[in-house]
């Protein structure tokens, strides 16, 4: 809660943040890394370069200011950040450091407009948010029975190419002890030393396998250098090239709140594109195991059959579901943007071109469905809007973003 004195300053700064949010975040990170270069081992330095982290922090600041009294809007945002922070090992003692440099950045960018009263109001707001985060993060670390920042050493027991760009890694406990349970849809952070940067980097990978296995599986897309000249992805390339069977990796506990609501029994609708298939595969396995009578619709968009990871696994689940004595629990729909001649001969996809939900039969997109989306942000924006246009309520749709969330729903 913010005091009555601070409230008008916070309210008045919403439009200012809208205008200067990215400048403040950029200035903040420059100051932070100058004073604490060791924090570069925690932050994603590619997000710093491609601008997405600056947007995430700016959005969070704005979202907090705009929704300061709107716990309903803020709670899910805090939950997502807390899960992310715990997967990264953020500690209580980091908060004053970040707060100090954030206030200094507000002061530097706003200049004379940053009156002592405005800075004091933001100090109060930051402390309130920081306390909420620290409290929630402490609980989450305790529930995982780890100290902040503690990682688990795991060994790669199997490595499998799943498509032209995606490879799966099967990870098992080094000490042979059973792995903690995870909920389908959750991710782990993987730590990797990047020699070129002389830094450790953490990246998140959704668990793509069934929840009841003695291993955790991640399926990693190799991020190649792109046509715009952006460099190849650091960690995904290192994993593809260097993480082999027998090698050890340091990983976080499973985190994330993109999980199925166990109380819902209406049809589960999983809509994904590209490597966004990974949490969906885990949810599919989880649903078939835990609620075998529940209908699942699995819609997936990709370029072509060469870019369709985990296809054989999905086909095996589908075939099992189609045995004569089984009810048809699983329905799939595959959209290939540019199917190859081989795909056409095999005839194992449902449509060519982009996935366009407005053209699909309503049996695939039931009104009472429980919807989950994962894929590139443009894909998710289009599908989400198409679902809303079909009369699906916003609270029936959840989504996972494979990058810093931009909190658009709060604007």
Ligand X SMILES: Cc1cc2nc3c(=O)[nH]c(=O)nc-3n(C[C@H](O)[C@H](O)[C@H](O)COP(=O)(O)OP(=O)(O)OC[C@H]3O[C@@H](n4cnc5c(N)ncnc54)[C@H](O)[C@@H]3O)c2cc1C
What three-state secondary structure class fits 155?
A: strand
- Residue 233 is given by DSSP the state P
Applying CB under 6 A, does 235 fall inside the site for ligand X? yes
Q: Which of 25, 53, 67, 399 binds ligand HEM (CB under 6 A)?
A: 53
Q: How far is the CB of 332 from ligand X (least distance, A)?
A: 20
Residues 6+ apart with CB under 8 A from 326: 320
Of 30-38, 60-68, 288-296, 399-407, the window that binds ligand X (rule: CB under 6 A) is 399-407
The item of ligand X, ligand HEM, none sharing an interface with residue 42, based on CB under 5 to 8 Å by kind, is ligand HEM
- The answer to whether residues 86 and 59 touch, using CB atoms and an 8 Å cutoff, is no
Applying CB under 6 A, does 60 fall inside the site for ligand X? no
Q: Which of 22, 23, 73, 98 binds ligand HEM (CB under 6 A)?
A: 98
Q: Which of 90, 234, 280, 335 binds ligand HEM (CB under 6 A)?
A: 90
d(CA 200, CA 193): 4
Q: Looking at beta carbons only, is 254 or 267 nearer to ligand X?
A: 254
The item of ligand HEM, ligand X, none sharing an interface with residue 240, based on CB under 5 to 8 Å by kind, is none
- Residue 207 is given by DSSP the state B
The item of ligand HEM, ligand X, none sharing an interface with residue 187, based on CB under 5 to 8 Å by kind, is ligand X
Nearest Cα to 398, choosing from 257, 297, 264? 257
- Residues 9, 64, 137, 336: which is the catalytic one? 137
95 is catalytic: yes
Cα 186 to Cα 176, 259, 282, distances in angstroms? 22, 7, 9
Applying CB under 6 A, does 162 fall inside the site for ligand X? no
Q: Where are the alpha helices (DSSP H) in 93-175?
A: 94-110, 116-144
Of 90-98, 169-177, 275-283, 295-303, the window that binds ligand HEM (rule: CB under 6 A) is 90-98
Strand-pairing partners, residue 199, are: 194
Q: Which of 68, 156, 220, 269 binds ligand X (CB under 6 A)?
A: 220
Applying CB under 6 A, does 233 fall inside the site for ligand X? yes
Q: How far is the CB of 235 from ligand X (least distance, A)?
A: 3
**Residues between 131 and 170 with contacts to ligand HEM, criterion CB under 6 A:** 133
Type and span of the H or E element at 287:
helix 277-290
Q: How far is the CB of 223 from ligand X (least distance, A)?
A: 4
d(CA 284, CA 297): 9
Structure token digits, residue 229: 């000249």
- Residues 95, 141, 170, 187: which is the catalytic one? 95
Q: Looking at beta carbons only, is 99 or 366 nearer to ligand HEM?
A: 99
19 is catalytic: no
State the residue for tokens 């760009």.
165
- Residue 300 is given by DSSP the state E
Q: Which of 54, 167, 206, 272 binds ligand X (CB under 6 A)?
A: 206
d(CA 336, CA 151): 39
Applying CB under 6 A, does 95 fall inside the site for ligand HEM? yes
CA 104 to chain centre: 30
d(CA 5, CA 8): 7
- Residue 22 is given by DSSP the state H
Strand-pairing partners, residue 331, are: 297
Helix axes 311-321, 277-290, angle to 10 degrees: 30
In the complex, the residues that contact ligand HEM under the rule CB under 6 A are 39, 42-44, 47, 53, 56-57, 60, 80-81, 84-85, 88, 90, 94-95, 98, 126, 129-130, 133, 404-405
In the complex, the residues that contact ligand X under the rule CB under 6 A are 44, 46, 49-50, 187, 203-206, 218-221, 223, 230-231, 233-237, 256, 275, 278, 400, 402-403
Which residues are marked as active site?
95, 137
């Amino acid at each position: 809660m913010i005091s009555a004195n601070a409230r008008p300053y916070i309210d008045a700064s919403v439009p200012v943040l809208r205008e200067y949010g990215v400048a403040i975040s950029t200035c903040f990170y420059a100051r932070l890394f100058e004073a604490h270069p060791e924090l570069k081992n925690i932050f994603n330095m590619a997000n710093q370069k491609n601008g997405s982290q600056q947007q995430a922090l700016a959005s969070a600041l704005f979202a907090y200011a705009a929704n300061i009294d709107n716990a309903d809007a803020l709670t899910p945002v805090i939950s997502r950040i807390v899960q992310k922070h715990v997967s990264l090992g953020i500690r209580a003692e980091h908060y004053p450091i970040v707060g100090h440099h954030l206030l200094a950045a507000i002061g530097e960018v706003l200049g004379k407009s940053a009156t002592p009263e405005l800075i004091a109001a933001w100090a109060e707001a930051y402390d309130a948010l920081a306390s909420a985060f620290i409290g929630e993060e402490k609980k989450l670390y305790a529930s995982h029975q780890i100290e902040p920042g503690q990682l688990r050493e795991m060994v790669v027991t199997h490595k499998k190419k799943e498509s032209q760009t995606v490879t799966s890694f099967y990870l098992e406990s080094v000490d042979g002890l059973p792995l903690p349970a995870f909920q389908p849809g959750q991710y782990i952070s993987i730590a990797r030393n990047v020699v070129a940067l002389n830094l450790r980097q953490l990246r998140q990978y959704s668990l793509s396998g069934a929840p009841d296995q003695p291993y955790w599986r991640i399926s990693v897309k190799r991020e190649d250098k792109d046509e715009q000249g952006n460099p190849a992805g650091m960690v995904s390339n290192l994993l593809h090239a260097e993480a082999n069977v027998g090698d050890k990796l340091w990983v976080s506990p499973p985190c994330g709140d993109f999980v199925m609501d166990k109380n819902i029994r209406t049809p589960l609708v999983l809509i994904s594109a590209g490597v966004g298939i990974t949490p969906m595969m885990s949810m599919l396995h989880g649903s078939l195991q835990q609620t075998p009578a529940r209908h699942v619709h699995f819609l997936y968009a990709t370029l072509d059959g060469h870019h369709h990871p985990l296809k054989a696994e999905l086909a095996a689940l589908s075939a099992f579901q189609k045995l004569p004595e089984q009810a048809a629990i699983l329905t799939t729909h595959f959209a290939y943007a540019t199917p190859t001649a081989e795909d056409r001969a095999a005839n194992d996809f449902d449509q060519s071109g982009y996935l366009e939900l407005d053209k699909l039969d309503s049996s695939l997109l039931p009104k009472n469905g429980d919807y989950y989306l994962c894929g590139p942000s443009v894909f998710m924006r289009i599908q989400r809007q198409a679902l809303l246009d079909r009369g699906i309520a916003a609270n029936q749709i959840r989504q996972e973003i494979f990058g810093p969330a931009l909190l658009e729903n709060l604007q």
